[in-house]
């Protein structure tokens, strides 16, 4: 089990902090939390900046020192005196979150080490868990691409006349070409409009 891999990117963490210092409104626009940072100073600075912003105050060296007396102002000043940009914060956030996810996976696998007697299990478990991080790096498809793929699948099913599991409703079968392993369908509707009844009937028919 590999434990020496550096699963962090300090430059990406710095870029996020610089961007938040320049434009605190980004706190609302990026999905990042203190625990995603690797370096302790970065965790502390992020939490302090977030508290200052939540209190509606301006984030500057004075407020940082007031909120965290232990804060190394000289280090913070050097950090923020470098090139500041907010243009790529989403890119850097993805990097930091992926590294955070992989560190959490390794910690989880290490926690299983003493509980698992099969030594061959751990490397496999680690590989499978880390493969999940690929979902975070995949390019998100556009709505047009999603519906194009769905329409292509439906056309292929109707052409070959090979449907999935039948739902018991002819129109529903036509719409979703049957139920297939790996597909996820969401049933939505107003309260008392028949969602539970529909699902109960689907389960009974299937």
Overall pTM surpassing 0.75 (yes/no): no
pLDDT at residue number 53 = 92
> Cα–Cα distances in Å, from 10 out to 14, 39, 185, 189, 199?
6, 7, 40, 46, 49
**Under a CB-based contact definition with an 8 Å cutoff, are residues 1 and 121 in contact?**
no
Task: At 164, list the tokens.
Answer: 């999935």
Give buried/exposed letters for 5-14 (b at 16+ CB in 10 A, else e): eebbeeebbb
Q: pLDDT tens per residue, the chain (206 residues)?
A: 444 457 888 989 999 999 999 889 888 888 899 999 999 999 999 999 999 999 999 999 999 999 999 989 999 998 888 866 666 888 888 889 888 888 887 777 777 776 666 667 767 777 777 666 665 555 666 677 777 877 887 888 888 888 888 888 888 888 888 888 777 888 888 888 889 998 899 888 88
Residue 109, number of CB atoms within 10 A of its CB: 22
């Amino acid at each position: 089990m590999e434990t020496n891999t550096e699963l962090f990117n300090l430059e990406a963490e710095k870029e996020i902090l610089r961007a938040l210092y320049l434009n605190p409104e980004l706190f609302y626009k990026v999905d990042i939390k203190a625990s995603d940072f690797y370096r302790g100073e970065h965790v502390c600075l992020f939490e302090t900046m977030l508290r200052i912003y939540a209190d509606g105050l301006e984030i500057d060296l004075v407020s940082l020192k007031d909120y965290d007396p232990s804060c190394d102002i000289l280090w913070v000043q050097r950090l923020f005196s470098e090139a500041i940009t907010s243009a790529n914060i989403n890119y850097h956030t993805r990097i930091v979150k992926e590294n955070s996810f992989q560190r959490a996976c390794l910690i989880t696998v290490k926690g299983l080490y003493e509980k698992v007697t099969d030594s061959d299990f751990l490397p496999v478990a680690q590989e499978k868990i880390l493969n999940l991080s690929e979902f975070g790096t995949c390019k998100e498809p556009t709505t047009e691409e999603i519906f194009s793929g769905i329409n292509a699948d439906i056309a292929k099913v109707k052409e070959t006349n090979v449907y999935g599991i039948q739902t018991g409703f002819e129109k529903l079968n036509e719409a979703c070409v049957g139920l297939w392993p790996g597909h996820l369908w969401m049933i939505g509707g107003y309260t008392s409009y028949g969602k539970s009844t529909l699902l109960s009937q689907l389960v009974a028919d299937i």
